[in-house]
Amino acid sequence: MVAQNIADQIGSGALFMLGARGSLMASDDSLTFDVKGTRVCSRIVVRLDPNDTYTIQFWKGRGVNIRKAGEASHVYADSLKPTIEGFTGLRMSL
């Protein structure tokens, strides 16, 4: 349920533009997806925090060679897209 809400707030078009449509992974409090088209990160994890904001983690690498490339905390729902765009350099809308 939380993962679906996160996906809805980001938007299916934005996820498509990131190349994430086939890689969505849901957990109890987060949504994880792979990103294509940027060298900055290869995976993004959006986690719902208890204070109803989000923490976005940006990961770089593949398999066991993955490391955290960055993190943004206390992100409100209306700032999810701009925060992801700002870190990755990818546009999520036309």
Question: How wide is the angle at C-alpha 40 spanned by C-alphas 39 and 46, nearest 5°?
Answer: 125
Number of domains in the chain: 1
HSE, CB side, 13 Å, CA atoms: give it for residue 72.
20
**pTM to 2 decimal places:** 0.91
- Tell me if 16 is assigned to some domain: yes
pLDDT at 64 (0 to 100):
87
- Tell me if 54 is assigned to some domain: yes
pLDDT at 68 (0 to 100):
96
Mean pLDDT of the chain: 92
Could you tell me if residue 36 is left (phi over 0), alpha (psi between -120 and 50 degrees) or otherwise beta? beta
Select from 23, 26, 29 the least CA-distant residue to 42: 23
Q: Whole domain around residue 63: which residue ranges?
A: 2-88
- Tell me if 93 is assigned to some domain: no
* Dihedral over Cα of 59, 88, 55, 11: its sign: negative
pLDDT > 70 in the chain, percent: 99
Q: pLDDT class for 21, splitting at 50, 70, 90? A: low
Give me 83's structure tokens: 């925060």
30-66 pLDDT tens trace: 999 999 989 999 999 999 999 999 999 999 998 889 9
Residue 51 — φ and ψ, nearest 5°? -90, 15
